[in-house]
Amino acid sequence: MVAVGVGTGAGTSAMVSEDRRTSGIFIEDESIELKSSRRIYEQLGNQLQVNVTSFNRIVLLTGEAPNETVKEDAGRLVRSIENVRNIINEITIGEKSSLASRSKDTFITSKVKSRFLASGKFQINHVKIVTEKGVVFLLGMVKREEADSATEIASSTSGVLKVVRVFEYID
């Protein structure tokens, strides 16, 4: 685990240099994700499958909860984390996704990233991609033209059912 952390440090530095967030906000986002995940697990245990993604202190929650109460509890727990600006709670009500479903989502994310890179229309690190049950969430601090390009590319990728934009515009 320590070796992974050391190896990740160099990669993180490179990613921060290409990221539009300040290094402080980048680190804060990582902290928000860790604190949120830990707090949800401590309070709600295995009742839900949740993914926490923070970009510029805006938190996207995806995954599955057994009912609306558990979904709302997860959002409330994240809202109590210091420095969270906003929460987009996209947790769906239903059974936890299968390993096969999560693997398919990972494959979709990889395809979208590859297509972003091949397009050359924007820096790939300006857009964060989260895929849940074929729904692609796009986060980032982008120009409107970049947002439109990212949305077009993602929506035309095979396996993508829907694209949800969670962008902050810088123009």
Evaluate if residue 166 carries a pLDDT over 50: yes
pLDDT digits (tens, 9 = 90+) for 44-71: 999 999 999 999 999 999 999 999 999 9
- Please enumerate in sequence order all residues whose Cβ is within 8 A of that of 14, keeping only pairs 6 or more positions apart, or say none: none
Which one is predicted more confidently, 19 or 36? 36
Evaluate if residue 37 carries a pLDDT over 80: yes
Evaluate if residue 152 carries a pLDDT over 70: yes
* Res 112: pLDDT: 98
pLDDT digits (tens, 9 = 90+) for 68-91: 999 999 999 999 999 999 999 999
Q: Domain-by-domain residue ranges, the chain?
A: 2-93, 99-169
Fold match flag (2-93 vs 99-169): yes
* Res 147: pLDDT: 98
Residue 166, φ and ψ in degrees, nearest 5: -125, 55
CB 48 within 8 A of CB 19: no
pLDDT digits (tens, 9 = 90+) for 96-114: 999 999 999 999 999 999 9
Which one is predicted more confidently, 104 or 5? 104
Q: d(Cα 12, Cα 5) in Å, to the nearest integer?
A: 10
* Res 19: pLDDT: 86
CB 23 within 8 A of CB 41: no
Name the CATH topology of 99-169: Histidine-containing Protein; Chain: A; (3.30.1340)
Q: What confidence category does residue 15 fall into, taking pLDDT thresholds of 50, 70 and 90? A: very low
Q: What is the pTM for the complete model shown?
A: 0.87
* Res 77: pLDDT: 98
Q: Does domain 2-93 have CATH number 3.20.20.140?
A: no
